[in-house]
Amino acid sequence: MVSIVYHDDLKEVQDDAALAALLAGPADAPFDRLEWWRGLVEECDLFPLIAVMRQGKQRGVIALHRQQRRIHALANWYSFRVRPLFTTGADMTAMLNELAADLAGESPHLVLAPLPDENGEASALAAALRRAGWTVFFSQCDVNHVLPVKGRSYAQYMATRPGQLRTTLKRKGGKVSVSIETAFNPASWDAYEAVYAHSWKPHEGSPAFLRRFAEAEGAAGRLRLGVARADGLPVAAQFWTVEGGTAFIHKLAYTEESRPLSPGTTLTAALMEQVIDRDRVTLVDFGTGDDPYKRDWMEAVRPRYRIEAFRPLWPGNWPAIARNALRGLARHG
């Protein structure tokens, strides 16, 4: 028998020993940790709804949040993905079936994204919602560019990069100096923020969240903060972390004035050398978004999905169901 419990206080999650162990154990990514969720709640003003699935000693959990009458995945622009998590040996199908049925009492409208499907998580969740009577629209919402290292050295990897990229590095690689730090340094973080403020990037969504995350990653030894300088001044900065054999590229920026120096290219190359040759990662994850420059560095693309689910007998959902159905028809000709 599967039971469902919801928590809007993250401290309550830690009172469940099996669940706390699941969320405190070795994670594949920061997005699966309780501290990531806590940062989103406390720094990004999201009201949490942590859905916990219990079956004997087994646990499943998915982080959600309320937004008016809708329930969304607990994620924002910093989240590469969100997914349900399960203890080893848990019956994922039974747990998701019970969750899908129970969520009908919490909200008539669900919006869950960005969901991975490498292990069938998104498909299983969509199927469970359909079995529970939800009207489900399942679509790709984004892409995730990644680099499977496949045992190569940095030199072997660089030999396969596009000729234009290698030429740029050869011509301009010596025009900036690069430093890479693994512990949080307030002065270096100030340099990152200064570069970002003078870059082409939009206004930072939640700088307090990002700094808090960087401080925690530095304390844990997972931080890789790169800064490129020209004439002693920071002109490019990148924020990476390394965890579970994966290097995650969270943020990158360079100043508009430094564009002729290509400092971002030089800095990315230096960080690639760091994570491939010294950290020995097996995967580099460039997050979401289909920016053209990512194709120069990455070699594979993984889809990210969106589930929008409606209770069909709730009249307030009928216009949205009709709109989604028409969009689906248009996409399929």
- Tell me: the pLDDT tens digits for 144-172? 999 999 999 999 999 999 999 999 999 99
109 bridge partner residues: 70, 310
pTM (two decimals): 0.94
- Tell me: the pLDDT tens digits for 245-284? 999 999 999 999 999 999 999 999 999 999 999 999 999 9
Extract the tokens encoding 311: 């209770």
Domain positions in the chain: 3-143+303-331, 150-281
Nearest by Cα to 83 from 313, 244, 304: 304
pLDDT of 25 over the 80 cut: no
Extract the tokens encoding 40: 């989103």
Pairing mode of beta strands 3-7, 47-55: antiparallel
Name the superfamily (CATH) of residues 150-281: Gcn5-related N-acetyltransferase (GNAT) (3.40.630.30)
For 3-143+303-331, CATH number out of 3.40.630, 3.30.1370, 1.10.3470, 3.40.190 equals 3.40.630
- Tell me: the pLDDT tens digits for 213-240? 999 999 999 999 999 999 999 999 999 9
- Tell me: the pLDDT tens digits for 41-53? 999 999 999 999 9
Pairing mode of beta strands 223-230, 47-55: unpaired
Extract the tokens encoding 69: 């009458």
Q: How many CB atoms lie within 10 A of CB 147?
A: 23
Domains 3-143+303-331 and 150-281 share a fold: yes
Extract the tokens encoding 228: 């490129």
